[in-house]
Structure 1
Amino acid sequence: MKATMPTEPINPPECRPTAARINRTRFLLIILDPDRESAEQLADSLHERQIDAIVITDPAEALLEVGVLQPDAVLTAAHVPPMTGSAIARALYTKACIPTLVAVGPNDGDQVAQALAAGARACVSRPYRTFDILQLLQAISPETATEFQAVLEVGALRLDPSRFEVRLGDALITMPLREFQLLQLMMQNAGRVLTRQQIHQLIWHRGEESSNTLNVHVRRIRARLGDDPKHPSILVSVRGLGYRLDPP
């Protein structure tokens, strides 16, 4: 399932914080999940994006740690015996106004409405998808959104989202936002073909149009990377499909 957020209030409980929020330099997320291995895999992935994540399997321990650490958000599974994710979301929201995400699996569909009504910020799929979690954490803390994105390295090409910086070997390459976003997308999918429609959806948030906007951006990126325009070896055209980025 995709992340689910309420479009209208569902009689949410009242938020009454009991402690002042802690100012910190990195986002802190507590992950409450009885499946420690799955939670730790997510925590490792988030750590690469400059997010501190603490894994806890016991709900009572998690509630105690929340009181001490005052995390920026909590991610809880829909079922953490003897409690439910909805009960945890309600407790955290009413006592500390802490944003809570509830993870629901294939058999937890009935938990979505309960979680949102209890004050959960959103419901996400379980098994976890890092991209979905990142999007929601970015919504919770938009001022640090770029810090959540990992530095990408593909061959000699390096892209740092937090510094808005691209390097090819030792050379610093300057490019405008849309080209930067397109290059970032291609590097995230290095070696894979992305169709033109996929690129339009992910970068421009719409299906492919008749304009040659994408062609122009690809041509400019190739020029900045020193890629041969007639026989490109980095940003490669795949006839009839789209583009693929190969390590330089």
Structure 2
Amino acid sequence: MRLITWNINSLRLRLPLLQRLIEEQAPDVICLQETKVPDPLYPRDALAELGFPHQLYRGMKSYNGVTILSRTPLEPITGTPDWCGREDCRHVAASIQTETGPVTLHNFYVPAGGDIPDPQENEKFAHKLAFLEEATAWFRANPPQRSILVGDLNIAPLEHDVWSHRQLLKIVSHTPPETTRLTEWLHAGFEDAMRKAIPEPEKLFTWWSYRNRDWKKSNRGRRLDHIWTTPDLLPGLKTINVLSPMRDWTSPSDHVPVMMDLAV
């Protein structure tokens, strides 16, 4: 299975980039975040023409939105929470049949959390922490097996997941309250496949701000996008690639795709 996860930052706007990505990389499964399209306007036909007739999506106007695209049939996973009691389209899950049995795939878009890393002063940050805690509790109560979790988790948890650990410790996405909670969620049944394939101390980034005039020269990145697998799938991990050249494509997302090859 070749799987790609990407915060596309508007599916309809960047459909041509998605087409080029598919042509160049030939993935079997694609998980997108920040699709920013309500379900009635979702481009089903265009995506089917790109080779992905099997689609599962939750979307809303202007914000959030997640989708799973597959060349083979998807079976929706039901019974997952509406996280934090909000209908804000941040999670979709499906079962995919493989030669060795079904694999469960979770696609998440975690709240960004605003700019102030204080839950008392910033409701968005409080929401982010609550989301992480609820997700951790749910996976502990529902231990995953043969599962993959991907998405824009909006946290760079490790020292070498950011351009400067010291300078970003008080910046939302790398603060201890976030990184600690994300690690607890990871330990609710998963392994960090990206860091298994590309261990520290190698720097590993998936996001570069639009504010950087020359993202490559400054290289002030963060690893906000993740691929986790349960331990039973980890022996099948072949490669992980961060497709950073896409950051130079015309009208790019500020995130780049992450691609995993997994024997299942």
Higher RCO (CA < 8 A, seq sep 6+): 2
Q: Which has the larger radius of gyration?
A: 1
By the TM > 0.5 criterion, same fold? no
- Is the helix fraction higher in 1 or 2? 1
Task: Return the TM-score normalized by structure 2.
Answer: 0.27
